[in-house]
Amino acid sequence: MISLKNIYLLASGLALFLCGYLFYPSAATLDNRWSTNQESYSHGYYLLIAAVLLALRQWRTIKLLPISPYPLASLPLALCSLAWLIAHIGNIQVGEQLMLPAIALSLVFLLAGKAIGKLLVFPFLLIYTVIPVWDVLNPALQYLTTIVSSSLLNLFGVPVFIEGNYISIPAGNFVVASGCSGLNYLLMCVFISLVYNHLYLHSLKRQLCMLAAGVLTGVICNWVRVTAIIAIGQITEMQSPIIRDHESLGLIIFGIFTLPLMFFGRYLETGQADETVHNKVGVSHSHINWLTWPAMAIAIMLFANLWHNSNANNINPQTAAVIVKKELATLKLIPSSPPSWGPVIQGADIHLNYQQLAQQPLGQLSDQQLSQQPGQPPSKQQSPQLSTEKQPALRVTIRGFLFEVQGKELIHENNKLHSSSWVKTNSSARLTALNKPVQLITLKDQRSNQQALVLYTYLIGDRIINNTRWVKPSQIHQSLLHHDGATLVTVSLLCNGECSESNDQPLLTLADRLIDTYRLSLNKALNANLNSQP
């Protein structure tokens, strides 16, 4: 007969397997950073192996401890799963990665118990040193490396000129790129310090000293490395192969610098009073309600993974584009080439460029119309239409994403509101006549000094957002409500001379009609798709 303990172990094993299966796609995104040479996180797989070995090192203690569920761990498991879901909906890859160790550790606490979970906290937390959230340190590290390296070169008599992250010496030019910031050496020294703390140091004060020494070692190691490379370039007139391939030199310098770090750790360890850690082994009693916790863990993880896809937007892009074009035709818009100012958006499901000719004042009729006699019926050659040769044209662009995935999203580092040759000179938040929030900006072409007045807004699910910073949070909120879709709508006008406030009324008027028409067309596309399903 199968014992209750075996049933619980089987249910817990199923929960752990399901955790790995459901969250594996997020974990797989780390491979690109961990498997790339000369990358700040290229030691990721080595650290993962080290974390596994540190966990196995606790096995002798773990097998003596009773397995006892820790129900309070269900709360951090639920919160971390929710945070993962929010990051997944917002296509925030690093957010998904940050939640993985926390979800796994919470699951261990919930199923194995508090005593066993405590023994595995360090191996799980160690993984955070190779999750690519530390890239935010790159600009500061680049700046410090540039300043310190140039100062050291001046100290040794090498004339140096600095411009940004560029270092110029008589023999040639160097750039302290993001890969030369020293983030990789910093993270590896921090890793060594943390492991040494875990294995040999018990006092918090000593552990902080060791960690600080690791940070300084990693930073100073890179300063010396960059200075040495530039000095070699000066000495060899840029002919040394080290100038083009300096990874080996960096590893040698790193190895030299880790020696004093280890000696310092040994110094901190010496004289430390022996501390014996006593684990209080409690007596566990099996209860049938234990099976509640594996079931709860499975339910939480399934909810986080299936919620976003349970009612996904099924609008067909081709169908939506056809319906949108048909509806926009009612606004007297005609297809046109993209406007000269932008926007630069890649991968949109709906990618449309239109123009609408503005109404021309009566005093600006064509010469042919002015020559026509009053009461004379217009001929085919003398049609009483307004001249369109010099009319200012309102430009309309629509970049719509019906459903976003990682890398194919409206708000992305590669997407820009306008091309690089245009700069923003003015910006103001406005409301249309129908109280739709829009942003009105003035752009100026750096080459021709041509100015453009641009009105733009974002349609996020059922909301209208005129602030780019709030697009991602709004997408997360709307996606939780199963209102997918993100669209950038712009209306622009090239100004004759400088743009003035008198130019904005036609843009605001058209924006009202354009937004309502576009949203109506998307609803028609959704209904058309639902009606076509069996």
Q: Which pLDDT tens digit goes with each residue over 364-390? A: 333 333 333 334 444 444 444 434 444
Does residue 20 register a pLDDT over 90? no
Calculate the average pLDDT of the chain. Answer: 81
CB 123 within 8 A of CB 55: yes
Q: Is residue 96 part of a domain?
A: yes
Mean pLDDT value of segment 90-117: 90
pLDDT score recorded for residue 270: 81
The answer to whether residues 120 and 232 belong to one domain is: yes
Percent of the chain with pLDDT over 90: 19
At 475-525, the pLDDT tens digits run 877 777 667 788 999 999 888 878 876 778 888 989 999 999 888 888 887
Q: Is residue 365 part of a domain?
A: no
At 438-487, the pLDDT tens digits run 999 999 988 888 889 999 999 988 889 888 888 888 887 777 766 778 89
Q: Is residue 464 part of a domain?
A: yes
pLDDT score recorded for residue 210: 93
Does residue 527 register a pLDDT over 60? yes
The answer to whether residues 76 and 28 belong to one domain is: yes
pLDDT score recorded for residue 529: 57
The answer to whether residues 335 and 291 belong to one domain is: no
The answer to whether residues 300 and 333 belong to one domain is: no
pLDDT score recorded for residue 367: 38
| Structure-model confidence comparison of residues 440 and 392, the more confident one | 440
pLDDT score recorded for residue 97: 92
Instruction: Give the dihedral sign, CA 189/195/197/199.
Output: negative
Counted domains in the chain: 2
Percent of the chain with pLDDT over 70: 84
Mean pLDDT value of segment 280-309: 61
pLDDT score recorded for residue 523: 82
Instruction: Name the one residue in this structure whose structure tokens are 């879709």.
Output: 485
The answer to whether residues 294 and 412 belong to one domain is: no
Does residue 50 register a pLDDT over 70? yes
The answer to whether residues 294 and 336 belong to one domain is: no
Closest CA to 175 of 184, 164, 183, 186: 164
At 187-244, the pLDDT tens digits run 999 999 999 999 888 888 999 999 999 999 999 999 998 898 888 888 888 888 877 7
- Report the 10 Å Cβ neighbour count for 436: 18
218 to 39, 265, 458, 512: CA distances (angstroms)? 15, 15, 44, 56
pLDDT score recorded for residue 308: 56
Closest CA to 460 of 509, 518, 418: 518
| Structure-model confidence comparison of residues 291 and 431, the more confident one | 431
The answer to whether residues 306 and 405 belong to one domain is: no
pLDDT score recorded for residue 389: 42
Q: Using DSSP bridges, classify how beta strands 451-460 and 437-445 pair: parallel, antiparallel or unpaired.
A: antiparallel
Which range of 2-11, 346-355, 361-370 scores highest in mean pLDDT? It is: 346-355
pLDDT score recorded for residue 377: 45
The answer to whether residues 347 and 236 belong to one domain is: no
Three-state DSSP class for residue 1? coil
Tokens (6 digits) for 351: 């990618």
The answer to whether residues 51 and 104 belong to one domain is: yes
Flag the least confident range among 99-113, 250-264, 354-368.
354-368
pLDDT score recorded for residue 277: 43
379 to 141, 363, 388, 481: CA distances (angstroms)? 74, 21, 18, 59
Q: Is residue 206 part of a domain?
A: yes
pLDDT score recorded for residue 293: 67
- What are 167's strand-pairing partners? 162, 174
pLDDT score recorded for residue 362: 33
Instruction: Name the one residue in this structure whose structure tokens are 């951090």.
Output: 76
pLDDT score recorded for residue 281: 39
At 334-347, the pLDDT tens digits run 888 888 888 988 88
Q: Is residue 394 part of a domain?
A: yes
The answer to whether residues 59 and 3 belong to one domain is: yes
The answer to whether residues 300 and 342 belong to one domain is: no
Range of the domain at 456: 317-359+390-532
Mean pLDDT value of segment 130-159: 89
Instruction: Name the one residue in this structure whose structure tokens are 């900006």.
Output: 441
Q: Is residue 376 part of a domain?
A: no
pLDDT score recorded for residue 505: 86
The answer to whether residues 117 and 231 belong to one domain is: yes
pLDDT score recorded for residue 273: 59
Q: Is residue 422 part of a domain?
A: yes
Mean pLDDT value of segment 412-428: 86
Does residue 82 register a pLDDT over 60? yes
What's the CA gap between 343 and 99, in Å, rounded? Answer: 34
pLDDT score recorded for residue 368: 38
Confidence of residue 392 (pLDDT cuts 50, 70, 90): low
pLDDT score recorded for residue 214: 94
Q: Is residue 280 part of a domain?
A: no
Give the DSSP letter of residue 405. Answer: B
Flag the least confident range among 322-326, 347-351, 362-366, 386-390.
362-366
What's the CA gap between 257 and 5, in Å, rounded? Answer: 51
Does residue 332 register a pLDDT over 80? yes
Residue 219, C-beta contacts closer than 8 angstroms, at least 6 positions apart: 141, 144, 182, 185, 186
What's the CA gap between 512 and 514, in Å, rounded? Answer: 6
